[in-house]
Structure formats: C-alpha cells, structure tokens
Amino acid sequence: MTLTADQMELREEDILKHYAAAAALLEGFDHTPRIGKGKAPAQAERSSGIGTRRRFRSTTPGLVTRSTARPEGVHLLDRIEAADDGDVLTSPAQAVATTALRRALAISLAVTEMFGEQTALAGLKRDNLAGGLSANRKGEFSALLTAEALIALHVFGNAAAYLLASHASETTVEVGEVEEVLTDNGQLALHGALWELDQDIAAFATDDARLTATISAYAEQLMEKVSLRAQTAAHLEPFRGASWRVEADDLTISGFTPASKAKSTTLTMTFKKPHEVVGNHIARYQALKLSKMLMAYDFDRRLNPFAELGGFIFTFMGDGKPGTGKTTLIQMMAGLINEYCQNAGYPFRYQNLSTESIDSYQGKSAQNAKAFINTVLDPGVIGFGTIDDIDQLAGKRGDRQSSAGQLEITAVLMESFAGANTVVRGNCTFGMFSNYPENVDDALRQRAGARFLVDGPQTRDDYIDILYLLMGKNHDIPLGDHEVYAAQEIKTAVAASFESHNRPHEEGLLRVFDQVSDRIGELDTIAKMGTYLKGIQEADDRFTGRAIKNITDAVKVRAMDFELPDEWMEQPELFLFKSYDEKKAMIGELRVPITTGMVLQEINRYADSEFRYADKSDEVAIETMVREFGRTEEAKRRYLEGKSG
C-alpha cells in the first residue's frame, strides 16, 4: 500500500537499529517504583532447587547490563517464560509476545528519536550532556522531555496492542488502571511501563492465553491513561499532527489515536434482501445508495470521492414506531455491504454499541464508546457502526434520569460525529436508531446528517406484500389479484415519497410554510427559501445553523441521486479497482443538477422530523410534570393525614 499525502514513512532501518536497546530492556534493568504498587504473583513460588531461567538463553554479548543480576531488577523475558507453570521450553505464544514487545519498543524509540530531531529536544539534550544548557531554556527542556515520555509510552502501547491483536483469543483480563506513568523522559517512562507490565504478568498471566490478554489489556490501559495526560501537555503538536507508516506491519501511527488491525468482523446476523424491507421507501433507497457509496472508498488515497464531492452520509438517524422495520433495515444494509466487500476482497467491520457499554465505573463508558468509534473509523476497513435504541444508551443533558455513564457516551458521540478533530474519509458510516428520538439529546440528534423515517408499511399493497413475505411458502392460500413486490419497486416508490414532501407533513411546520408562502409567494429562489428557514427558526429555536448544514448536505446527496450500477459491485474491475481519480470522474458524470424542488423537499423532510421530535418531546415533558404534580399532591395528603393522626 502506498503512502498517503499526510503520512511519513518510518523506515525499517530506523526501527531495526533500536532492536539491541529494546532487547536490553526486556532482558533486565533496575527500577524503583514511584507510584505503582507491586501485585501478588499468580504463579506459585518455585523451590530453591529449580532454576528460573530457560536452558536455551541467548549469549549475545552486550545486551544485559551489569545491574540485571541483582534480584530486585525487572527481567521481563524471564517473567514471560515463567507464565506457563514451569515448562522449560518457550511456547509459541511466549515467543510471539516477546517478539511483539521488542518490536513495539523499537518502534517507540524510533518515533521519539524522530520527534527529538523535529523539535529542539535533540539539540537541548546535546547541550545538557555537554554542560552548556542555558538557564532560560531549562523549562523548555523539561517540557519537551515530558512530551517525549508521553509519546514513547503511547507508541509502545499502541504498537504492542496492534501487533498482538491477531493473536488474541476470547480470553480477557482486567488489569485495572495503569499507575506507573513517569514523564521525566522517554527512557525512564519505558522503565516504569515495563516494570508495571512485569507486575501484571506475574499477577494475571497463568497460561498462554492469559499472557496475550494481559499484555493487550495493559497496552490499552496505558494508551488511555497517556492520552488523558497528553491533553494538557505542551510541545505535542508535531506528534499530534503527524502520521507515520510502518509498512512491514501495516501499522499507521496517527498521534494519540490507537491503531487497529484491518480485519473483518465475523457477522452472525440474519441478512435481509431489499425486497424484504416493505415500505420505508426513502430509508431503503438511501441505505442502498449509502451501501454502494462506501464501496467507492480508495484504500490507497484513504478517501472516498463521494466525501470529497459532498454527497456522503457520515451519520444518519432512523426513527419510527416500534415494529416498523429498523432492525430489518440494519440487516439489509449490513448484508449488502458484507456481500459487496466479500466480492471485492475488502475487509468489512460491523459494530453495534449496545447498553452493555454503559458501566458504573467512572470513565469506563466513555472508553467503551471511544473503542466502538475507533473500531469503525479504522481507515483500513469498510465500516458500519450502529447504535440501536440510542435514547436508552446516550443520556440527555439536563435529564435527572440520565446516568453518568449515559452522559459519558453522549459526550463521546458528539465529539466523534462533529468535533474539531472529526475527519470524514468516507470509509464508514454510523447509524443511530430509536423508537423515541425525542428522548435523544438535541445536540446529538442534530449531529445526524441524514434522517431516515422508518414508518413501515403504509399502503394496501405494502400490507399484502408483508403478509405474503411473512407467511412463507408452507401453505396453499391463493395470492389473489396482486403483483407481489410491485409496490416495492424502488424508483417509483421513492419518487412518490419525495414528491409528498413538496409540502410539510407536520401541522406546526405546515402553518409556517403557508404563512411564508402567502406573504412572499412560491419559494423558488434562495432568498425566499432562506426566509422560510428563518420562519422555521422563529417557530422552533432549536432549528439552528447545524440544521441548515444537514439540509444542504442532504441536497448534495440528492445531487448524487443515482445508484452505482450493480455490475460495478459484481465486477470490481469496472469501478472498485480503478484509481481514485478515475472513480471520481465516473461518479462526476452521473451527478444530476440541483433544483429548487430538491432543496424545498429536503428542508421539509428535515424540519418535519424536528417538529415531530419537538412535539413528542414537549408531550413527554408535560406528562412527566403531571406525574410530578400528582406525586407532590399525594405526598402532601399523606403528610397532613399523618400529622392529624
């Protein structure tokens, strides 16, 4: 894979030259812990008559410092080799672990060396060694050493977790919060990290599976702790803004963002075909288009032409009454993307954020949500992330019934979907689904760039089709006068659905539409449609600039009002395997002009959803207040009865 424009190559020779230093760290060093506390070892103590070292030990000179012979030193290689109840032979899992740790340490040392050369740190180190460091630069030197330490720790944890990801089993280990995070300099920081990892292996790694799980869990906790520290540290901009590519490992280091293996998830869901989604014409059509849009992603450029041209849906919300087909829509979309990816040989990753992600421990819910986001965002895969029943998962700010864990998830989703650091590459999309969207935080709901109204079957033909579908074939009941699935023919149904939005559906919005139209006439210019938007804002002050952006994004999607041909998915060489510029040109030829009708329909579609949510939200609030008043009155009555008695 070629480098992208925003990546630098971390050359193999720059990594290999640090192998000796990395091996020395694994062989042994002295460390007196400052913050961390030792953990009781899991394996039983050996008798004094049994040796604790392997028979086959490297005799390469110069790798072990004189102090490693002291009993209080950290000997990580010995610790790893002892994690199998005394087997004298090194197991494959132990060899993988030690190799991964050496590689991760070497990558960490290489990156921190490059950071030192890119900043003033390397020069200040030379001045300090020569005794020529001026007093007025000591503060800068100290801050740069802290930055070096944080980078060394995060890159080490990032690389270790990444390299071991493909060797992990279903076994998991909870190592707890990382404590020994030292920021004096990069070398001491790694000493502290390896000391604590040594303690965790002693406490938890009783076999090969738990050894891999322990190292992986520690690496993830280390990254989490360091990322929090880095939020307030200085001089980290050169690292945050850089991206290094390690070609041999297919590893990309992008600031403090954890890397992940570009591999597919194993899907066990029941997929649905498009004709099995009855009704929901616009939602089904947009899901079909979006599934094919994702496949236009270019893995070399790490960008999707649809994202550059302005017609890509990064986030969407599907809402409707219970039983109208939200789960079926997810099954259809996941099935289509999975089929397309298998045909093209692309890795596909589907993840769902469930209520199991809410944790009572402070910060854990946010960590779970961030892991979900990062897994789907991985630029090495085609990703589809769903958040079903988001009203239960993400808390509404100001709602006393929202738990701390729910509010943590809300904050992570808001920052990830439209934050300052959000980058839309076009390789993934996130769908939020709810039966009660009025219970979703307003700001989070507005981060859904598209709205899929999942209203289920509507017409007589829809109800006949769904009855025919669900009855199956194990009966002899005649069909009667009906052409099966003719009403589900997507283009005809979608055209009728879009035309129905020439006028609003919600009563409150319809009043605004009629008032503005009566005053200024047909809404056929940008000025008149802007006046209509202002009228909507006056009726509902939650209709902000973000709503206008979502509407214009939806209009750009309408300009891409075409499906990529099925044969382009079936025969990847026709489109998917072409270069980025070729794909962009082919898509550009299919674009249609934007019309005033498109803009007006999208304004009405979006505003209808907001008015629908607002009406339900207000009704829920009123019902809640009525219950509170009733409780208050009952409490007063009981209080007075008790007092009089």
Tell me the pLDDT band of 405, cut-offs 50, 70 and 90.
confident
Same domain, 124 and 198: yes
Same domain, 187 and 42: yes
Q: Which amino acid is at 535?
A: G
Same domain, 377 and 421: yes
Do the Cβ atoms of 212 and 88 come closer than 8 Å?
Answer: no
Same domain, 177 and 320: no
Q: Each residue of 95-149: pLDDT tens digit?
A: 999 999 999 999 999 999 999 998 999 999 998 888 888 888 889 999 999 999 9
320-349: b (≥16 Cβ within 10 Å) or e? beeebbbbbbbbbbbbbbbebbeebebbbb
Instruction: Among 254, 284, 312, give the residue marking a domain's end.
Output: 254
Indicate whether 2 belongs to any domain: no
3-class secondary structure, 133: coil
Indicate whether 642 belongs to any domain: no
Instruction: Among 223, 254, 285, give the residue marking a domain's end.
Output: 254
Same domain, 291 and 355: yes
Indicate whether 645 belongs to any domain: no
Q: Tokens at residue 6, please?
A: 């925003």
Indicate whether 222 belongs to any domain: yes
Indicate whether 635 belongs to any domain: no
Residue ranges making up the domain that contains 26:
8-46+53-254
Same domain, 283 and 313: yes
Same domain, 457 and 557: yes
Q: Each residue of 229-254: pLDDT tens digit?
A: 998 899 998 898 888 888 888 888 88
Same domain, 542 and 487: yes
Q: Which amino acid is at 458?
A: Q
Length of the chain, in residues: 645
Same domain, 490 and 567: yes
Same domain, 279 and 394: yes
Terminal CA-to-CA distance of the chain, rounded, Å? Answer: 84
Q: Tokens at residue 579, please?
A: 């270069």
CATH of the domain at 461: 3.40.50.300
Indicate whether 606 belongs to any domain: yes
Torsion of CA 168, 174, 177, 178, to 10 degrees: -40
Indicate whether 643 belongs to any domain: no
* Stretch among 88-97, 141-150, 262-271 having the lowest mean pLDDT: 262-271
User: Could you please report the per-residue DSSP string of 63-128?
Assistant: SS-GGGGSTTSB-HHHHHHTTTTT-SSPPHHHHHHHHHHHHHHHHHHHHHHHHHHHSSHHHHHHHH
Element holding 21 (H helix, E strand): helix 19-27
Helix axes 596-644, 526-539, angle to 10 degrees: 0
Report the pLDDT value the prediction gives residue 39, as an integer from 0 to 100.
Answer: 65
- How many domains would you assign to the chain? 2
Same domain, 68 and 17: yes
Indicate whether 265 belongs to any domain: no
Q: Which amino acid is at 280?
A: N
Tell me the pLDDT band of 45, cut-offs 50, 70 and 90.
very low
Q: What percent of the chain has pLDDT over 70?
A: 84
Tell me the pLDDT band of 310, cut-offs 50, 70 and 90.
confident
